[in-house]
Structure 1
Amino acid sequence: MQSEMAVDLHMDSPEITVLPTSSGKGRNRPMLKENQVRFVAAVVALLTATAIVFSFINFQKEREFETPTDGVWWVESGGHLKAEKVEADGPGEKAGIKQGDVLIAINGVDITRKAVQVRQIYRTGSWSKATFSLTRSNVPIEVPVILTPADRSLNGGLRLIALIYLGIGIYVLFRRWTAPKATHFYLFCLASFVYYSFHFTGKLNQFDWIIYWSNVTAWLLQPALFLHFALTFPETKDVVKRHKWLVPAVYAVPAALLSLHIVALNFLRPSEVLRWNLDRGQMLYLAVYFVAATVVLWQTYANAASPILRQQMKWVTRGTFMAIAPFTIFYVIPYLRGSLPTAAMKISVLSLIFLPLTFGYAIFRYRLMDVDLIFKRGMAYTLAAGTITGIYFMAIGGASEMFHKNFPSAGPAGLMAAIVVTALLFDPFKNWIQDKLDKFFYRKRYDYRKTLIEFGRDLNSETDLDKMLASIVDRLSRTLLVDRIAVFVHDEQSRWVLAKSCGISQTTGLDMSFMNEERPDMAAAGHLFFDNTSQAVRENPGARETIRRLDLNYYLPCTVMGRTIAMVGLGKTTEGDFLSSEDVELLETLAGYIGIALQNARLYQSLAEKITEYERLKEFNENIVESVSVGVLAVDLEDKIESWNAQMEVMYALPRAEALGKRLSDVFPLNFVEEFYRVRQVPGINNLYKFRMGTPAGDTRICNIAIAPLVTRDFNVIGRIIILDDMTDRVELESQLAQAEKLSSIGLLAAGVAHEVNTPLAVISSYAQMLSKQLQGDERRSALLEKITTQTFRASEIVNNLLNFSRTGSSEFAEVDINKVVSDTLALLEHQLKTSRVKVENHLAPTLPKIYGNTGKLQQVFLNLFLNAKDAMPSGGTLSITTRNGRAVEVEVCDTGSGIAPEHIQRIYDPFFTTKKSPRQGHSGGTGLGLAVTYGIIQEHAGKIRVDSRPGEGTQFTMEFPMVRKAVNA
């Protein structure tokens, strides 16, 4: 009977609780009080040591002894046992036992009571066959049953919960042993440890009975301790204060149940029904007490006046509900209704693990902010304790054996050495788990928290006060996830002013007097803390308004050599929680580094102001050099560049940083360096006129260069000054002017020649056509006349080009869509381009403004350019036409042909200049008038034309036309 009871007992309700987190500091107490504390500490230590030793021995004995079972719940009925329930797929069901069968005998021994049946299966043993004599519907039958070991799978999970309770309880007691309710909390954890780790094996010896009664006592004591805790946490409830008998009444129920249990087992006739009713009564008591405790905690949360207590109790109630609800719904209620523990019911027991992990931290009423820290540390210590417990005895045994083997006379020294070694190994192992949990809980914040102190030490490397303050605000807000943060410093009148902030909008009209006073609370705690910034009742009205507007809960002084340099203010986290005590301690440490860094930054700032004045004068002189419109550079006696003004950067296309410190030969082309070395030997100022110089950008600049010695006040030469005046644009304008004048002169001549030549050409053409009609039968002579006619037309075309070039033709200007002109011209040449294997790529801007011009003449411009591009690509290629809208309408015509030789670039617009000396089959020879006519038409349209060509790579013509203006439309 007792073994069956033991199995059921440990399928009940595992509980767990977490750590407290407030700071309690010892105060002077009377000697009697100190003796009481020491006595309680000694008793608690003795109970803890005894519980741990007994738990380990019980674990060992349970592994050595297997409890046999037949998988049937037998209940006394009519002088024999009746099968009340048969476990699915258990030994009894496999043997054929069914619900309602009556057990008469086992192996020939009459069975009249449950205790006799247990004794018989124990004698038979696990994995042995027992013959069960049964009656089924008054029909006697015998079935062989193979007994199997009882299922103890839940015991491992219960022992894990027990270790969690004990680990968290020990951590709380050692870290905050003077905190309110800490001892009560530890006793609850210790009772839970005993309840979940003590398991009756069924050997029926004295040690087993100690384990059994310890388990029963802990089972009955645990709910009472929890309800007592709820009634007095975080403060004693008013109902308890009014009714002093309430707390003793809490413990009266478990005392009565324990007395009933003792009487039932020792003075009443044991029966399975009695055991079952006792278990259900105790289970009902456990559920009622836990639910009552949950209700009390929920009322505390609902009636909490301060935001801290409300937030604190929110975690407590949620954790308690998550622990109690699944256990009550899925285990207690089915158990009370008569269900034996199933696998699902056993799993629901594990929900009670949430209770310690969310509850213990709240013991310290004003340390709500430690919830994350306590959960993290509690988990770390629990995992460490659970793992160390497993290897602890192995380490002791191994180390002891080693000492005895090597030092036989060591005696107890081996055991002591093993304990010391285990203790030394525990801390690094715990730190390793703590580090892993930090990475899990903080994730991206982990690196920030880990390097926050290093950041404080590195602050001295930043001398800019504003950047330093911005860095402090940014790093703290990202590390601690704080939504509001501010740094206050003293101004020249020693008044606190807001220097840098994040999340604060109102920064004027602040009364900072609450930070000027020597406050006892700041001296004691190391910082100011306002749990409710809207109710700072101890401050004056102005300070209260400032605290409310800033909405900062923490003010940490940055002190250096006893003087407060700055004050750092922080609000709650982005989730509305207060900071943890670990965060506050970290900030207090960092505040010292911040104070030193701010003091150093102010010294640097003072020095920087003096340097700034000197730099201003120096910069004024340098600005003169930077502002001139010519390039200026200076070199030392080793020809290393020491100065390089902005105009040099623009003209030579080389940043100053890439030029300074380099030799002239590493920066400038060889032709300039040779000229520089030549003229350097000549005293005085030397000039190079219209010197052509290549730049790193690939273009060529034409410069007037002056090279002069750089001398000191004592007329000592310390280097050279080189001045470069960029003449490229001026030379290009001069070239265009000369070209225009030349074309104007040639145009006048061409006009006269065209008129004189046009008349005889018309006569020759007319007579040739007349003769051709008369000699239609003579093929030989007709061919000759056809050639004469063709040549006269060609000569006429040349004359017409000359007329266009000289602007003698009439032209009407109107608004023209340049995209349409381009498209129409390409359509005319589509066949020629296709047969010449020329691929056309159009990049025409969809919204191009119209220009003012003549469609026919513009078509002639593009026709000339497209035909030239085709002739430049005898083996085929790509012709690309692009239009765009900028300051003017731009048209680019690019080909991938043979390009134009550099010596021909300046002559391409000259009339009758052509490079088409020997045309290929199907191509006509050039007249040299196409580009000349093109140039004249573009000038007539007030436009510009530029050419860029590289031999072997292609040519690009760029044309610009002014857009239509309102004055033109009028």
Structure 2
Amino acid sequence: MNNAPQTRILAIVLAAVTLAACVLAGLNFSHESGYEVPTDGIRWVEGPGGLSAAQVPQDSPGQRAGIRKGDTLLAINDHDTPRLASLTREMFRSGSWSHATYSIARLSVRLDIPVILEPTDRSINQGLRLIAAVYLCIGLYVLFRRWTAPKSTHFYVFCLASFVLYAFKFTGEFDTFDWIIYWSNIVAFLLQPALFLHFAVGFTDSGEPVRTRNRVLGVLLYLPGLYLVGLQVMAILRWSATETLKHRLDKIAYGYMAAYYICAGALFFIRASRSEFPLQRQQLKWLSRGTLVAIVPFTTLYVVPFLFDWAIPATFANLAHLSLVFLPLTFSWAIVRYRMMDVDLIFKRGVTYTLATAALVGIYFSVVAVTAEMVHTRLPNLRVWGLLAAIIATGLIFDPLKRMIQARVDRVFDQKRFDYRETLIDFGRSLNSQTDLDALLDSIVERLPQTLLVTRVAVFLASEPDEDSYRRRPHFGLAASHGLTNLEAPELNTLDVSFLAFDEPGANNHIFLENPQQVLRLPEAQRQSAGRLDLNYYLPCRVANRAGRGARTVAVIGLGRTGDGDFLSSEDMELLESLAGYIGIAIQNAQLYRRLEQKITDFEKLKDFHENIVESINIGIFAVDLDDRVESWNAQMEVMYARSRGEVLRRPLSEIFPADFVQRFEAACGRDSDGGNTGTHNLYKFRLVLPTGDTRIANIAIAPLLSKTFETVGRIILVDDITDRIELETQLTQSEKLSSIGLLAAGVAHEVNTPLAVISSYTQMLTKQLRDDTRLTPVLEKITQQTFRASEIVNGLLNFSRTSGAEFTSIDLNPLLHDSAILLDHQLKTAQIRVDMHLEPNLPRVHGNQGKLQQVLLNLLLNAKDAMQGVQNATLTIRTESTDKQVVILIQDSGSGIEREHLHRIYDPFFTTKTNPQAGQHKGTGLGLAVTYGILQEHGGKIQVDSEVGVGTTFRLEFPAVAVATPVGAP
């Protein structure tokens, strides 16, 4: 309580500093985005004769212009540049993407070289800001998740300093805001290594003398950083801050940072090797590894070349900085101190995400570089869109890249353990094949130590369930073990493991005992048993309980630590929890199998007698008990339902039959108060779906199965397959329907022919009287012609209903198509349908009946018109062509199309898809395509259809050609 005010003040200070840092970082990013710094890419050093080119990087603007290492810069645009300040001033005066004339002295020869200045590439700053965000998020997570843990506040300050170090980037404008960013970055740069080493010194403090000594040492650790800050201040404010002086101060700062990092890693490694506590040793082991992975690339790829003025490729420098993200990823979880030792797991995942992020950043910057080149040189109007495309493309590949790296990292870090886990998963899936309980338990206690490298494993079995055990707390006894060498046989019966209460409300998924010998929360007897077992983990093996009463624990698996004294990780625990479900089901199956074996002799005679009765009956018969489990299954059921006895016996109906049958079965079989069912129930013409996917129709009778004492012991089900009978009845009905169609067609033909004859007679009379009328005569002749055609159509309907002959002649299909289209011209124009007609000029003739073929064409054209009702830009295409001894007609529409499941039925009589009255303002009769198909067969032709819903339908008619047409103009 005494520290409460200090804690609140510290929280307020940290919150204010964090908020200020975030605001400044956002403003800094905004300023940097709008402020370009021109550069020639050359590192100039001040000397007696002026500025000398110390480094000329490959493909820099200066190198492309022809400047070489050792050249002396005299002036830019005729303005003298004796100092770096004047050089910077002249470059800003010229601006980015401008031509600046460099006056160079090379071997006492003055040269004027035009240089195109480019904006300074600050793309690496975005990757560093990503690292800064990772630092800040992890620091906040640790602070809020475990703010009471030792060193959590220290760690957050370290993350905050790292955030400032990587997020604050001065632009070179050096106004008041830029100076704030500059000095904040300098202080964070020199403070972060000291915070890191101080964290390493105090991470494992134990005892007041050690803490006091480490506090004094911690204060001394900050003195070099403060001294370097003072040097930077003096260099800027009082000394002449030449480029040489600044470069030397940067070398000292980077050497100081690398030295502190290396000392911290060595300290972690030494303490890990000397620690006597497994939990602490495990944490320190992964801390030292995380430091090694972060520091070695940074030191070797960046610090060492920088100290010796070696040229550093940009890619190596970027990877060196990105490797530092391993520090917060590993240290944060070490502070949280999860008891299942998640440090190694989080470290591996940290490696995965860091490598994935590094690869993503590399790809991103590559794409940005290519895009920038294209933007500046070729496509200046696509600058923003090009960068957005680069961001989207790299974002899409992050997840598959991360999964690929995750698999590689798992194998690299622990190949043997990774393979063992895969073996363990396969073992869990194969457990159900083991029906011997003793062999099953032996295989469990043998496989787990090999896979997880633990030294002690035990399996505790629950007492055998009975009617009352579902309401009582189960008792567990040791059934199998490995590595429990300190227990004698008499002691096994005295173990009190009542603390394994996993079926109690609110119980956890597992029990973890960090020190089994000192579990103070348990009663004395249970504490002694836990100490003798010396197991750290207890996992329940649960199975579904009867009657929906939740899960029941049938066994408990106990495990100790590994051979190295390490604890298991949460990844191991997740795997074990999944495996425990398989083990529970396997143990329950083995127990059920054992109980069934005890009763198998009593059921053998009853089974033989039952099978002898039902095997000779030609009806499917099977019986179920009161729990709806199959007790018998005759040979007819095997043939009809395509399942053998071995697949169905002792299994519930819900696992064998489809859900609709089970529902009808349960609904039909009402149960009385004794659990039996009353009377016989029938399911008439029930559609039964077979496992093969076929459907059979059966009459199913369900009756009570009675014992000798007239006690209901189950139900007997008789399945009479009437599928063949139903098909015969359907064929008979169809035959009667076709006969009725014939009678109807004959009547219609008779009734329609009479008014057609009257219309034809009066039309011919009018034609004779108005023979001189040139306007009406063609109309009356067309009416006469169409009455003849209508009569032929009626006679065709009569022919469809009976076998009759018709007059066949040689026909040219082109005029027939043209006349049919003219007849429907008004309807097509009203429906706003455009007709494209492509008729082959020299089309061979076919042998057929002109009226019937015109009936075919009109049917297809009317169907096409109806299919295009309401379609925008509807088009009807009619095409003729000739192939080898064949004449082809193609009728294609852009309508709604035909469903694929309906294509095989479109030629059936009375089948129609025109169920919507709005489609053509009428419902179809289903006879058009049936008549069309019959006429094509009569003419020896073929009809094919190709349709896609929403695109349209194409009918292809093929007729045998009888002669090849003579080309026009031939002799």
TM-score range, shorter chain: 0.3 to 0.5
TM-score (norm 1): 0.48
Higher RCO (CA < 8 A, seq sep 6+): 1
